Amino acid sequence: MSFSADLVMGWLASYLWPMARLSAMLMSMLVIGSQNVPVMVRAKLGFVITLAMAPMLPAMPEIPLFSLQSWLVVAQQILIGVAIGFATQLLIQSFVIAGQVLATQSGLGFASLVDPINGGSTPVIGQFYLMLGTLLFFAIDGHLTLLHLVQLSFTTLPVSTKGIDIAGLQAMVAFFSTMMQMALSVSLASITAMLLVNFSFGVMTRAAPQLNIFSMGFSVSMICGLLVMWISLGGFMEHFLAHWQQVTALICQVIGTECSGG
């Protein structure tokens, strides 16, 4: 039994081009795309998912595998995969920013840890919100939703030299302002509570200047910050689900389809 070169190249293309999109999504998505996950693990995971998903995808275009047009196709697949995965980073960074704001307001910003996703130093409260959001992401099967959206993208954005349109790219850029609004909605109650605490200390300073407010206020602010964070955890799940729906709506807009999110 013999196989022609065109048949072998077509068979390889039917797996390599979807693998480029899937691998790019895994390299940029939440948790799996972090620095703690080795590159080889992500590459093997993309290979296994491609083997399972490729038979369910539409037919690939008949483009020579080793040609300039093929390189353009690969570049478009990487761009689409990065856009889908990067949307989840915008989701979790909104909670990290909210934690940083609360830490700054309560004086807990001095306690910091290394962020495993960004590799930088982040306040402990931001790290706590990061871990909590990550657990919720997997608890609501967010990773499976991403795989479903990637599979759907092969229908709405078929493998070709054409990728995300200008409207989709503009939506990605405009979502940065939405991310800040999401962070503000999470931390607004905490900011208001800490503002009242600091205002109370200001009144005490004017009423009794002989009191050493700086030494006493620092510890009280940290205790109040922890108390406010504990009270606000009750609405964390509601905020996360609302923000996840916005992120899924963004991904659907990028890939050119309509979905209800979540």
pLDDT, tens digit, 9 for 90 and up, residues 111-139: 555 555 555 566 777 788 888 888 889 99
In a domain, 262, yes or no: no
In a domain, 215, yes or no: yes
Confidence of residue 262 (pLDDT cuts 50, 70, 90): very low
CA distance 79 to 97: 26
In a domain, 107, yes or no: yes
Beta strand 121-123 pairing with 112-114: antiparallel
Q: What is the pTM of this model?
A: 0.79
The answer to which of 35-39, 180-184, 209-213, 218-222 has the lowest mean pLDDT is: 209-213
Burial environment of residue 84 by CB neighbours within 10 A (0 to 12, 13 to 18, 19 or more): buried
Which is nearest to 81 in space by CA: 34, 129, 142, 19? Answer: 19
In a domain, 34, yes or no: yes
DSSP state of 136: H
CA distances from 93 to 3, 26, 36, 150, 184 (A): 50, 17, 17, 22, 12
Neighbours of 117 (CB within 10 A): 19
Neighbours of 80 (CB within 10 A): 24
In a domain, 260, yes or no: no
Partners of residue 6 on adjacent β-strands? none
Structure tokens of 146? 């991403």
Range(s) of the domain holding residue 100: 5-255
Q: Is the model's pLDDT at 25 over the cut of 50?
A: yes
3-state secondary structure of 29: coil
Question: What proportion of the chain, given as a percentage, has pLDDT over 90?
Answer: 0
CA distances from 40 to 33, 78, 79, 126 (A): 12, 17, 20, 28
How many domains in the chain? 1
In a domain, 261, yes or no: no
The model's pLDDT over 143-152, given as tens digits with 9 standing for 90+, comes to: 888 889 998 8
Partners of residue 123 on adjacent β-strands? 112
Q: With beta carbons less than 8 A apart as the criterion, state whether 91 and 133 touch.
A: yes
In a domain, 151, yes or no: yes
